[in-house]
Amino acid sequence: MAESIKDKVAVIGVGCTNFGELWDRSVSDLIVDATFEAVEDAGIELKDIDAAWIGHWCETSGMTGLGLSGTLGLQYKPVTRVENACATGSDCLRNAAYAVACGVYDKVLVVGAEKLKDMGIAGLPNQVPLGTPNLVTAISAPGLFAMMATSYFHRYGLSPQEGKRMLSHIPVKSHHNGAMNPKAHFRREVTLEQVINSPIIAWPLGIFDCCGTSDGAAAAVLVRASEAKKFRPDPVYIKALQICANPADGARRNDCDFTHIEATYRAGQAAYKEAGIKNPRKEISMAEVHDCFSINEAIVMEDLQFSARGKVKDDLESGFFTLNGSLPVQASGGLKCFGHPVAATGLRMLYEMCKQLQGKSGQRQVKNPKLGLTQNMGGHPADNVVSCVIVGL
Amino acid sequence: MLGITSYGAYIPLHRLSRTELFRAWAGIGMLGMSVPGEKAVASYDEDSVTMAVEAVIDCMRGVDPKKVDGLFFASTTYPYSEKQSSAIVSAAVDLRREVRIADFAGSLRAGTIAMTSAIDALKADSVNNIVVTASDARLGAPSGLMEQGFGDGAAALLLGRDNVIANILGSYTIYDEFSGVWRAQTDTFVRSWEDRMVLDTGYSVILPEAINGVMDKCGLKAKDFTRIVYDSPLDVRAHIRLTKTLGFPPERVQDTMFMNLGNTGTAQAMMMLIAALEEAKEGDKILFASYGNGADAFVLEVTKEIEKVRERRGIKAHLASKRMLTNYETYLRWRGLIPMEPAQRPELTPTSISALRRDRKAILPLYGVKCKKCGTPEYRPPAWAGGRAPARICVICQAKDQFESYKFSDKKGKLFNFTHDYIATTPDPPATNIIIDFDGGGRGMFDFTDRDPDTVAVGMSVEMTFRKLFFDRGIHNYYWKARPVRI
């Protein structure tokens, strides 16, 4: 009988650079800064690390484990590069946590680092692998997610105006939180009307429905749960750690509805079971989810059962997910405002949850959080890999 | 007897008004005269190959492609100097491997030269039937009369012995070295000698020679023909003058479609013939001729079988189905005639010939699979996620290698969802991408072309159309797109 990861692994230190267009900092600078913040937060030294995992999505950020060992001068330690699209950071955490849980390492380091802004163009690099036929001429990441908004609006009978208004609550809330976050990429508030009227990127999504593409890195140090209190009084324990890849069937099967993401739903269900959660809407204190595009956050709220199917509009309008609401989502500002350096994002979400649980989030502090959830998605509505992590004190 | 057994045509959706050309150039090169009418303009993703595919599909309605014995293609605007375009067309329309194909080129009468060769192949019993298609998208240099006059289009005729709709009673052919209109391999635009000389020495004497030749050969006089179909040079007045010279009643002479289509080069004569066949009745005698480095002339007699091939888009329906380009700049952009600022987007993955070869059945005739175990039709996994086509494992029931082939190119479908992508790189922004649920099952994501962004809606009916996705390092990447059901 397979065992659960629940309460076997603890996070004893986290680090995160500021995210943004960091023209003067290389990926190595980002790795050094995130790593040393995490190591110092854990109260250990770099030489104490037994093994490490480094996440890069894009080849401009690095290849192999050498990007980490070379930058940090790690002395002949096992280092693995992990890549799982935008869920890379969470998958680094998962691989490292399992290694700690099985007892072969005492202290491990996970780092996600991405340098997206050195390409000379906005957006993400081309994602069609060499040696495969290029069959769709032109579609951007916003375009792929916009198709989900089209389906959602159609299914629930929302006019484009009603649909856009519903979605606009999401970036308004995230910008409000992000404006208070010194490490966030975008630090200004926006109004509902600004979001609704922002230039269209991929109909029906406007520019404020889309997250930033950023440079940045995040890191964490993990130990076995039984050892954690030796390092600090308030370690954060992993309660659930789930990831699943869909069979790339969204654009193949007629029954994929594009109004939910099955992998998000299943990762959520598995995480709730692992953590022993019966009513996520009530039991989860806060969440950092994959709001690469506003429509995805809306649908994630339903897939994670924070909102009933087709009813996220009510919760968005009532402010259920705002900082003072019953279930604050994106207290950090989310991908939308904190930014989205692909491989760093999953660990950046973990960083925010740890700081919130430890009561160190200042103006953005969520009141008495018990359990924090991160949901991190790689790919797009048709083809994706989704992680769901639950942590608590 | 042998003759024509089916016909089909293709005219692009878009038209450009000659008034707009006059406006764009303020009359420069037009002697201050605004030529009336409009021309058909191939979309940015169309060329002679894609239009030929459309015409052949129209011609082969109700015909099993596996029972076609050959395909002859005629054009002066092949996408490749070295690579056979008839092979691309044959693969797209799903002909068997063991058929004879050829590209006929170099002359505006390449279409009728191909017809003559097809007739000979039928007479020799080398084939039971053969498709002849002609397609052209010629360029006149900006601001010139040729730019005003040329239109884009394609025609296809199926020739054979069974269910003949128009018997071919006789033919006559002559060659002549003289052209007066030419384009060197390094030229983008058609060139011409002074047209008075070109017409007086060429068209106006050589075409009548062939027409008189076939009438003499068949023992027929001008009055014996119900319909007279012969193509026109750029200056349609020469066409009208020839009617008088030959003594044909003008009302029996087939319209050149200069006003609503333009001069379609190699395709012109065959497109005019198809327009004539659309109106023809049993017993009609048609004189059909084409000019270009000599001339070909044919005598046709229509049979009662013609009533059985009326379900075609042909000329009339395609002419009626149109959308005006609102400005000349769009035309320039689509033809690649002006340098554009490069999009601030990542470069496409380099085209892989080996990937195109491996996936050829999925790419050119658009085959997917149908699972023998669970019965589900499935197109293909995405390129970035195990993108081998077709799949070897059923995504529904996980059965391995238990598929039969299943063609999607001939299926219609419903638009499941869409986006208009304003940042994706395309010559016709926004890039409209859709997911289709095919009638009978199966789903795929495709470019949506020939659409009016304002009328794209979930649930609308769509059909597939063969198009050029992009040009990369000398390789034209052909594939299928979706479009709103055209007619």
pLDDT tens by residue, A6-42: 999 999 999 999 999 999 999 999 999 999 999 999 9
Does the distance separating the beta carbons of B425 and A131 come in below 8 Å? Answer: no
Does the distance separating the beta carbons of A135 and B346 come in below 8 Å? Answer: no
Q: What is the DSSP string of A95-128?
A: HHHHHHHTTS-SSEEEEEEE--TTSSSSSPPP-S
Does the distance separating the beta carbons of A247 and B417 come in below 8 Å? Answer: no
Does the distance separating the beta carbons of A139 and B419 come in below 8 Å? Answer: yes
Q: Are strands B14-17 and B3-10 parallel, antiparallel or unpaired?
A: unpaired
Does the distance separating the beta carbons of B352 and A140 come in below 8 Å? Answer: no
Does the distance separating the beta carbons of B396 and A140 come in below 8 Å? Answer: no
Does the distance separating the beta carbons of A251 and B435 come in below 8 Å? Answer: yes
**Residues of chain B positioned with their CB less than 8 A from the CB of A202:** 419-424, 430
Token output for B270: 């065959």
Question: Residue B126: what pLDDT?
Answer: 95
Interface test with A, best of B354, B366, B423 (most A CBs within 10 A): B423
- Backbone phi, then psi, for B146, in 5-degree steps? -65, -40
Domains, chain A = 9-119+214-236 (3.40.47.10), 141-208+238-392 (3.40.47.10)
- CA of B292 vs chain A CAs: smallest distance (Å): 38
Check if B283 contacts A (Cβ < 8 Å): no
Residue of B nearest to A128 (CA): B384
- CA of B32 vs chain A CAs: smallest distance (Å): 41
B332: Cβ contacts below 8 Å, ≥ 6 apart: B142, B338
- DSSP helix/strand/coil, B339: coil
Does the distance separating the beta carbons of B426 and A137 come in below 8 Å? Answer: yes
CATH label, B3-334, candidates 3.90.1150.10, 3.40.47.10, 1.10.3080.10, 3.40.50.300: 3.40.47.10
Q: What is the DSSP string of A3-59?
A: PP-TTTEEEEEEEEPPPB--TT--HHHHHHHHHHHHHHHHT--GGG--EEEEE--ST
- CA of A154 vs chain B CAs: smallest distance (Å): 7
Residue of A nearest to B345 (CA): A121
Question: How many cross-chain Cβ pairs, A to B, lie less than 8 Å apart?
Answer: 170
Active site residue A244: no
Does the distance separating the beta carbons of A203 and B422 come in below 8 Å? Answer: yes
For helices A294-303 and A262-275, what crossing angle results, to 10°? 50
Question: Residue B288: what pLDDT?
Answer: 98
- CA of B368 vs chain A CAs: smallest distance (Å): 11
Which of A169, A260, A290, A340 is catalytic? The answer is A340
Check if A273 contacts B (Cβ < 8 Å): no
Task: Return the amino acid letter for B322.
Answer: K
Residue of B nearest to A206 (CA): B422
Does the distance separating the beta carbons of B447 and A137 come in below 8 Å? Answer: yes
**Residues of chain B positioned with their CB less than 8 A from the CB of A258:** 416-417, 435
Which residues numbered 294-353 in B keep a CB inside 8 Å of some CB on A? 344-352
- For residue B462, the cross-strand partners are B413, B484
Alpha-helical runs (H) found in A276-385 = 280-283, 294-303, 312-318, 334-338, 345-357
pTM (2 decimals)?
A: 0.96
Does the distance separating the beta carbons of A154 and B419 come in below 8 Å? Answer: no
How crowded is residue B124: how many other Cβ atoms within 10 Å of its Cβ?
8
Which residues numbered 117-176 in A keep a CB inside 8 Å of some CB on B? 119, 121-140, 142-144, 146-148, 150-151, 154
- CA of B396 vs chain A CAs: smallest distance (Å): 8
- CA of B52 vs chain A CAs: smallest distance (Å): 21
- For residue B448, the cross-strand partners are B482
pLDDT in tens, A179-223: 999 999 999 999 999 999 999 999 999 999 999 899 999 999 999
Q: Please give the DSSP secondary-structure letter assigned to residue B452.
A: -
Per-residue pLDDT of chain B (487 residues; tens, 9 = 90+): 899 999 999 999 999 999 999 999 887 766 777 789 999 999 999 999 999 999 999 999 999 999 999 999 999 999 999 999 999 999 999 999 999 999 999 999 999 999 999 999 999 999 999 999 999 999 999 999 999 999 999 999 999 999 999 999 999 999 999 988 999 999 999 999 998 999 999 999 999 999 999 999 999 999 999 999 999 999 999 999 999 999 999 999 999 999 999 999 999 999 999 999 999 999 999 999 999 999 999 999 999 999 999 999 999 999 999 999 999 999 999 999 999 888 888 888 888 899 899 999 999 999 999 999 999 999 998 877 767 788 899 999 999 999 999 999 999 999 999 999 999 988 899 999 999 999 999 999 999 999 999 999 999 999 999 999 999 889 999 999 999 999 8
- Residue in A380, A127, A125 with CA at minimum distance from that of residue B344: A125
* CA atoms of A231 and A250, how far apart (whole Å): 45
- Residue in B229, B314, B311, B265 with CA at minimum distance from that of residue B8: B314
Active site residue A176: no
Residue of B nearest to A259 (CA): B417
CATH 3.40.47.10 in chain B is located at: 3-334
Residue given tokens 């007892």 in the structure block = A103
Which residues numbered 403-442 in B keep a CB inside 8 Å of some CB on A? 416-426, 430-431, 433, 435, 437, 441-442
**Residues of chain B positioned with their CB less than 8 A from the CB of A248:** 381-382, 385-386, 395
* CA atoms of B467 and B384, how far apart (whole Å): 22
- Backbone phi, then psi, for A373, in 5-degree steps? -120, 135
Per-residue pLDDT of chain A (393 residues; tens, 9 = 90+): 788 999 999 999 999 999 999 999 999 999 999 999 999 999 999 999 999 999 999 988 999 999 999 999 999 999 999 999 999 999 999 999 999 999 999 999 999 999 999 888 888 887 777 788 878 768 899 999 999 999 999 999 999 999 999 999 999 999 999 999 999 999 999 999 999 999 999 999 999 999 989 999 999 999 999 999 999 999 999 999 999 999 999 999 999 999 999 999 999 999 999 999 999 999 999 999 999 999 999 999 999 999 999 999 999 999 999 999 999 999 999 999 999 999 999 999 999 999 999 999 999 999 999 999 999 999 999 999 999 999 999
Question: Residue A68: what pLDDT?
Answer: 97
**Residues of chain A positioned with their CB less than 8 A from the CB of B415:** none
Q: Are strands B431-438 and B413-421 parallel, antiparallel or unpaired?
A: antiparallel
Question: Residue A107: what pLDDT?
Answer: 98
- CA of B388 vs chain A CAs: smallest distance (Å): 8
Task: Return the amino acid letter for A190.
Answer: V
- For residue A216, the cross-strand partners are A114
Does the distance separating the beta carbons of B395 and A252 come in below 8 Å? Answer: yes
